Amino acid sequence: MQFIDTHTHNYDPAYSDCCDEVIQRAQDAGVRALLQADVDSSERANMFALCDKHPGVLYPMLGLYPGSVDNNWQSELDAMLQWKDKDVVAVGEIGLDYHYGKDFIKEQQEVFRIQLELASQWNLPVNIHLRDATEDMLRILSDCRHLHLRGNLHAFGHSYEVFERVQKLGDWYVGIGGVVTFKKASIGEDIKRIPLERVILETDSPYLTPTPHRGERNESSYIPLIAQFIADQKGISLEEVARVTTENAVNIFGI
């Protein structure tokens, strides 16, 4: 069996003393590719350097994370564009996040729209981060239907209704990670209704560690635990989850 972790941060300081070992454990667990989500200029050089060190295993995205959007957003976008000729697999992680405050809502929305337009121009999928901003995200995707966007909603933990609504706005998949294994997470039940053909796997490591390792640092070698939970909820085999979600990831990201 082979898996793909479609959203991780192996360049995070949490792995500073064990990064190569973590990547090797992922490969030993059957995770053949680890997609690196970009955040902002503070970590981007380290991300690309790590991807260069592990070609064919680590693949970079390019994007400005909504939590990094402030009054300096134009400079951050300019800094991002300097990397556009690298072999990136997606524009991400981008999106909207109002969880920690609403001081830069207008700026987040403008940056999100700009990056969706870039994804269309570059013919790349997008990796969307969404937190406490569902209606604004849906409205912007609706406004941008003419761009013929494709990609995924990272760390999807929203309702099945949101899944259905976003399906009308482009070629969208959902990234399912460790949250699906949490006892009180509604996505644990909703995953039964979401077609496997629209699911990709992710960890968002070092965050959102699945049960039974919750509270520990996450890593891509835990992808099979997420896949097994989905298989159990759907009453299908782990092999089928591995096959279909890997095919989905290859289809989206072209790796």
- Residue 67: give its domain's CATH number: 3.20.20.140
| Confidence grade of residue 232 (pLDDT, cut at 50, 70, 90) | very high
Q: What percent of the chain has pLDDT over 70?
A: 100
Interval 48-53 mean pLDDT? 97
Q: Name the domain count of the chain.
A: 1
The 3-state secondary structure of the chain reads: CCEEEEEECCCCHHHCCCHHHHHHHHHHCCEEEEEECCCCCCCHHHHHHHHHHCCCCEEECECCCHHHCCCCHHHHHHHHHCCCCCCCCCEEEEEEECCCCCCCHHHHHHHHHHHHHHHHHHCCCEEEEEECCHHHHHHHHHHCHHHCCEEEECCCCCCHHHHHHHHCCCEEEEEECHHHHCCCCCHHHHCCCCCHHHEEECCCCCCCCCCCCCCCCCCHHHHHHHHHHHHHHHCCCHHHHHHHHHHHHHHHHCC
pLDDT of residue 250: 98
Interval 134-138 mean pLDDT? 98
Beta bridge mates, 199: 174
The boundaries of the domain holding residue 154 are 3-253
Pairing of strands 91-97, 150-153: unpaired
pLDDT of residue 107: 98
> Are the C-beta atoms of 197 and 172 separated by less than 8 Å?
no
pLDDT of residue 182: 97
| Confidence grade of residue 157 (pLDDT, cut at 50, 70, 90) | very high
pLDDT of residue 181: 98
pLDDT of residue 161: 96
pLDDT in tens, 87-110: 999 999 999 999 999 999 999 999
| Confidence grade of residue 84 (pLDDT, cut at 50, 70, 90) | very high
pLDDT of residue 36: 98
Q: What percent of the chain has pLDDT over 90?
A: 100
pLDDT of residue 118: 98
> Are the C-beta atoms of 100 and 134 separated by less than 8 Å?
no
pLDDT of residue 131: 97
| Confidence grade of residue 192 (pLDDT, cut at 50, 70, 90) | very high
For the chain, the average pLDDT equals 97
